A and B are shown apart, each in its own frame.
Chain A
Amino acid sequence: QQQVKQSPQSLIVQKGGISIINCAYENTAFDYFPWYQQFPGKGPALLIAIRPDVSEKKEGRFTISFNKSAKQFSLHIMDSQPGDSATYFCAASIDSNYQLIWGAGTKLIIKP
């Protein structure tokens, strides 16, 4: 019940296309859903996060869509650029808890 399942494991998208990464969870107590971006040789960095009181959050080319009834959330990257090539992790937590439950990660490659 503590798991966050992330898919796909890897993704190749043409420059200018839309990249979509999906995550699913079981624990309905989760109330904070961040996405982290990790470049090779670097630590993960917070990209965007959402709470379940909204169904969508957009920051620039990055959008989180959240479906509370389906217990799923996804990251959409519009107009994908080669510089977006990185590994993306979804995560979930109960806000008052320190423990982030991490997805397995998606390696995204944007082809020029």
Chain B
Amino acid sequence: DAGVIQSPRHEVTEMGQEVTLRCKPISGHNSLFWYRQTMMRGLELLIYFNNNVPIDDSGMPEDRFSAKMPNASFSTLKIQPSEPRDSAVYFCASSLRRGNLLETQYFGPGTRLLVL
């Protein structure tokens, strides 16, 4: 299994530009998470999808952030317009939910975003 795949691995952009991060979850997993990691705030859950449906987006910082999951094998996290304070490592993770139980979350390698 290839694990969770994220692209790009690194992104440098200028303030005001649109940024799109991509994630391919592990095949067969039905739950997908987007996290943000910074030194100051640690790991923060941004949004959680189950069966391609957003269940909890309360962690999305503001309207500049949006996430979609058009099918079971692809998700995007978009920031428009980007700001320097968005600089962080963004992780996608996937898991299998069986009934009420959520199994181990497997993380991708992350996208390191720098907004100048």
Contacts and interface: CB of A to CB of B under 8 A. Distances in A.
Contacts of B109: 41-43
A1 interface: no
Chain A's interface: helix, strand, loop or mixed, by majority?
loop
Interface residues of B, number: 24
Given A34-B104, A42-B109, A43-B109, A98 B56 contact: yes
B100 interface: yes
B92 to A, nearest CB: 8
Contacts of A49: 104
Interface residues of A, number: 19
A88 to B, nearest CB: 12
A41 B111 CA distance: 9
Given A34-B104, A95-B101, A44 B50 contact: no
Contacts of B12: none
Nearest to B97: A98
A50 B12 CA distance: 39
Contact of A43 (B45, B55, B56, B110): B110
Given A96-B102, A97-B102, A99-B48, 11 more contacts: A41-B109, A49-B104, A95-B101, A96-B101, A98-B33, A98-B48, A98-B55, A98-B97, A99-B45, A102-B43, A105-B43
